[in-house]
Chains A and B, each alone.
Chain A
Amino acid sequence: AQKVTQAQTEISVVEKEDVTLDCVYETRDTTYYLFWYKQPPSGELVFLIRRNSFDEQNEISGRYSWNFQKSTSSFNFTITASQVVDSAVYFCALSNTGGFKTIFGAGTRLFVKA
């Protein structure tokens, strides 16, 4: 069975701190895809990234970076120099089809204080 665990329910940081959101997944598939989504207080969902299980290269996009480690079944998300606008719930998700038929983690609520 597939499963995504986001053990951190809530994280609170002060602006400009770096913060890492953990995501651990379980799957028996050799090909799978991992995702991160953001849900700001306004409620909409925003797709952030999708990674293929064959591509373990870390990715950086501005202040965001993702660390994919197959050996530990983790796909962690780091925000560098956090800002108040980063306050949101962040969801990690897993798919075995490549598409967006995903299983979501419970989410991590991030509070960034000014």
Chain B
Amino acid sequence: DSGVTQTPKHLITATGQRVTLRCSPRSGDLSVYWYQQSLDQGLQFLIHYYNGEERAKGNILERFSAQQFPDLHSELNLSSLELGDSALYFCASSVAPDSYYTDTQYFGPGTRLTVL
């Protein structure tokens, strides 16, 4: 158990809908990262938050947004869903903001999103 929790584990929804994925980092970790893993695109970095502030953005669509709350949990909001958004969404956490060399990253179990 990495200590990172993600809910829900599975989500099935229809095109055009909006969903929210939730992530709770390990106790003491201030950084939260979101990644998408799909058959078409492989693994992709989406976004990074540190202590409530956005630190880095990757290949995140405009229909997607995220935030990190004062209690450090994070939510990834996906709207106007399309079939191609079906994927496994991982959250990860680490202690430091970015370039702390010995920092380790811990992953949650992922949320599998299926868009029908």
Chain A residues close to B by CB (< 8 Å)? 43-47, 50, 52, 91, 93, 97-104, 106-107
Contacts and interface: CB of A to CB of B under 8 A. Distances in A.
B91 to A, nearest CB: 10
A5 to B, nearest CB: 12
Nearest to B96: A99
B48 A43 contact: no
B94 interface: yes
A91 B90 CA distance: 15
Contacts of B43: 91, 93, 104, 107
A50 B104 CA distance: 9
A43 B108 CA distance: 10
Interface string B88-103: 1010101001111101
Contact of B55 (A43, A99, A103): A99
B64 interface: no
B42 interface: yes
B48 to A, nearest CB: 6
A97 B45 contact: no
A106 to B, nearest CB: 6
Interface SS, A side? loop
B104 A47 contact: yes
23 contacts: A43-B109, A45-B35, A45-B92, A45-B107, A45-B110, A46-B107, A47-B92, A52-B101, A91-B43, A98-B99, A98-B100, A99-B31, A99-B55, A99-B97, A99-B98, A100-B33, A100-B92, A101-B33, A101-B45, A101-B48, A101-B98, A102-B45, A104-B45
A3 to B, nearest CB: 12
In the A-B complex, the 10 residue pairs with the closest CB atoms: A98-B99, A99-B98, A104-B43, A101-B56, A45-B107, A47-B105, A100-B33, A98-B98, A101-B45, A100-B105
